Amino acid sequence: MSIQITSTNYNNQRANVILYSSTGNTIPYTNATQISLGLQTIPFIYSSSTLSNEYGVFSCNFTGFSKTCIISQRTPADGDGNTYKTIKIGNQIWMSENLKTKKFQDGTPLDNIEEVSSATWAAANGSTTRYWTTFGDVATYGLLYNQYALLGSTAGGAASGNICPIGWHVPTDAEFSTLVTTLGLNAGSQAKSTTLWIGSGNRTNSSGFNALPNGFRISNGNKSQLLSDGHYWATSGVPWSLNYSSTEFSRLTHYAVTGCSVRCIKD
């Protein structure tokens, strides 16, 4: 059986899921309704208690008489083949995970194949030193990037100018400002994850942005503040930052060789 999603779904709104089956078997969709598989259109409403304000569509897996439906619209694949969960906040659609690609959108690798030393990181300068680095578990925290990595590949072609997946881009300063304005009072509390922050740093993540305390790589190449800070690049080169003790975003001036996280936004 294959699943075709026929409409985009926002929180507490209705979408249609079309199911296809070559067997024609009948399985229960709910306790009250049975669906004879074949070509069927099923109206389905999901609850905010499942994934609050999640932007997405239904992904359904059926095994015998059991069903699992998950709201999970992911981005297209980045240059490394990774896809990311997404969240709609106001009129913007953001990745709700940190970027973790080591390649630009067109598949061109960044300028380091392996983790670089502190001295090499600190010596980065311009278009041939577009570096990524790890800090903590990559599956959880993603990667950190110097500012040069935001400039894209020099290999040529329109796609090469983007580290984000197709249809997505590194946010501008104005777009980050819109996010913070949309969240309003205590924007940091609404954005911060419910786990991993030190001290009393965990917050509600009521927005679904899921900001993580992934620290940063300082201009001298040292790594700092894992579990206490999160820093997110904007195209202006001035990151938007959160600290474990804060309930608001701040803007911190960093050198271009500083390693910060990236959250892409939908075009």
Distance CA(78)–CA(72), nearest Å, equals: 17
Mean pLDDT of 143-172: 82
SS3 at position 141: helix
| Residue 85: per-residue pLDDT | 83
Q: Name the more confident of 44 and 123.
A: 123
Mean pLDDT of 223-229: 95
Mean pLDDT of 142-147: 96
| Residue 157: per-residue pLDDT | 53
> Radius of gyration over alpha carbons of the chain, in Å?
21
Mean pLDDT of 150-160: 65
| Residue 14: per-residue pLDDT | 39
| 244 close to 228: Cβ distance less than 8 angstroms | yes
Mean pLDDT of 97-102: 97
**Best CA proximity match to 218, nearest among 249, 261, 254:** 254
pLDDT at residue 211 is higher than 80: yes
pLDDT at residue 61 is higher than 70: no
pLDDT at residue 50 is higher than 90: no
- Enumerate long-range contacts of 70-76, CB under 8 Å, 24 or more apart: 71/9, 71/46, 73/8, 75/165, 75/167, 75/168, 75/264, 76/165, 76/166, 76/167, 76/168
pLDDT confidence tier of residue 161, bands split at 50, 70 and 90: low
Q: Is the dihedral of CA 227, 233, 237, 240 positive or negative?
A: negative
| Residue 22: per-residue pLDDT | 35
pLDDT confidence tier of residue 160, bands split at 50, 70 and 90: low
pLDDT confidence tier of residue 224, bands split at 50, 70 and 90: very high
Backbone angles phi, psi at 74, to 5 degrees: -105, 160
